[in-house]
């Protein structure tokens, strides 16, 4: 997609709007499968939480991807998009035994990350294959806000609890068919990731009937020009070699699984917002757009960087702006950012808006969530309508307070009469 394509989308569907480039998703998927091309059985399970639109899921299904899900609802979205239950893994955290059982009944692969639920599920369903999520106590991610491999993480079963885990498996006679880990997002140090993988291999040796080992994901993508990213090709070469060696030691060709989300869709996404006002204060020039952290919360929540381009005036003279939203509290996308000169009515493009952007959107300040568009084969396709006021109030139940008051008064009078 180029700037003219994006402006066409903004003109046709209005702003704010999310746009996803299908070709970028496809190329990222192919890049990953090529990097691990020497592994006999490779399984890519797209992390639905990154971007859960059904049309995007259908695209990934067409590519041969499976799904990594974290809720019953994500499982249901996957089934609606055409995925078979056997191509979906359910990796929740802190959910009830009842939800896990409901997903299991659909035929989906279960991945359990705590001893309590593992023991309860194993005692009731010993014949259902279960994957176990291990916490290797290795932080391969670069951002502490999104690292989940540290010792006090709520995710996974500690490697120090392996003896207890083995005791549960022995007592329940349950079938463990997979071992899983996820150390966090924005992985840069491949050697640290490989070190965590050795811990996973050591754990896998203690289970005789595995079908797969899941190495999670968290691969870093570039957020700005010149930014560093995970070297997928180097990781593919080194981990594939070690994985193939392990399979020979284990005596069985296992599947190597990953669960990329951001890596597949982040760079494919753009968020377009229109400039409402350019406001000069004593020391700052604000560009206020028709959006806010209700649509794109990552800069406020994580301190995430999104490149911002003025696609209405890309050749304009660069000036410094603080780009802010219309939410009625501190609502900042970027501070003192160098951007081509902005005028009211211009359309700004926020890059890397494919992952954890729309899926984290809300109706705060009673604002509507935006539309979503898929750019596929050189054309735009609306894949989610912009919300309306009717969407906003659809599930609200309006109570007639006058009627309630009359009913209460009548009930009180009846009680007095009885007494």
**Going along 284-391, which residue ranges are E strands?**
285-289, 308-310, 318-324, 332-340, 347-350, 371-376, 379-384
CA atoms within 13 A on the CB side of 94: 3
Place of tokens 């917002």: 273
CA atoms within 13 A on the CB side of 79: 14
- Do residues 27 and 401 touch, judged by C-beta distance below 8 A? no
Is residue 328 flagged as an active site residue?
A: yes
d(CA 157, CA 115): 7
d(CA 307, CA 269): 12
Between CA 269 and CA 178, with CA 355 as vertex, the angle to 5 degrees is 135
d(CA 221, CA 307): 13
CB atoms within 10 A of CB 289: 29
- Do residues 196 and 134 touch, judged by C-beta distance below 8 A? no
DSSP state of 187: B
Residues 131, 328, 349, 357: which is the catalytic one?
A: 328
Residue 45: in which H helix or E strand, if any?
Answer: strand 42-47
- Do residues 272 and 19 touch, judged by C-beta distance below 8 A? yes
d(CA 32, CA 42): 10
Q: Report the catalytic residues.
A: 328
């Amino acid at each position: 997609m180029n700037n003219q394509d994006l402006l066409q989308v903004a003109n046709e569907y209005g702003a704010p709007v999310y746009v996803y480039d299908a070709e970028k998703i496809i190329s990222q998927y192919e890049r990953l499968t090529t990097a691990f091309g020497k592994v006999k059985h490779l399984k890519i399970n797209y992390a639905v939480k990154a971007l859960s639109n059904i049309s995007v899921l259908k695209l990934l299904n067409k590519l041969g991807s499976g799904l990594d899900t974290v809720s019953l609802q994500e499982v249901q979205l996957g089934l609606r998009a055409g995925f078979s239950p056997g191509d979906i893994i359910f990796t929740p955290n802190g959910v009830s035994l009842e939800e896990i059982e409901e997903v299991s009944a659909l035929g989906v692969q279960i991945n359990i990350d705590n001893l309590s639920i593992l023991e309860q599920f194993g005692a009731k369903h010993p014949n259902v294959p279960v994957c176990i999520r291990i916490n290797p106590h290795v932080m391969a991610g670069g951002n502490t806000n999104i690292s989940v491999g540290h010792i006090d993480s709520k995710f996974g079963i500690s490697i120090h609890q392996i003896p207890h885990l083995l005791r549960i498996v022995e007592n329940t006679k349950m079938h463990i068919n997979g071992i899983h880990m996820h150390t966090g997002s924005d992985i840069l140090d491949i050697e640290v990731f490989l070190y965590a993988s050795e811990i996973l291999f050591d754990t896998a040796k203690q289970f005789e009937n595995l079908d797969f080992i899941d190495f999670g994901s968290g691969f870093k993508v570039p957020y700005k020009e010149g930014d560093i990213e995970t070297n997928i090709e180097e990781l593919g070469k080194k981990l594939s070699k070690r994985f193939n060696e392990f399979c020979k030691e284990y005596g069985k060709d296992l599947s190597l699984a990953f669960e990329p989300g951001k890596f597949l869709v982040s760079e494919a996404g753009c968020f377009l917002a229109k400039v409402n006002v350019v406001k000069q204060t004593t020391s700052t020039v604000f560009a206020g757009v028709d959006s806010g952290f209700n649509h794109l919360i990552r800069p406020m929540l994580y301190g995430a960087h999104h490149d911002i381009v003025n696609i209405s005036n890309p050749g304009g003279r660069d000036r410094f702006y603080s780009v802010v939203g219309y939410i009625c509290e501190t609502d900042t996308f970027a501070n003192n950012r160098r951007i081509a000169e902005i005028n009211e009515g211009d359309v700004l493009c926020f890059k890397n808006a494919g992952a954890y952007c729309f899926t984290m959107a809300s109706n705060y300040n009673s604002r509507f969530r935006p539309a979503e568009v898929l750019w596929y084969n050189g054309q735009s396709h609306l894949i989610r309508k912009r919300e309306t006021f009717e969407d906003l109030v659809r599930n609200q139940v309006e109570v007639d307070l006058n009627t309630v008051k009359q009913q209460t008064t009548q009930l009180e009078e009846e009680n007095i009469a009885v007494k």
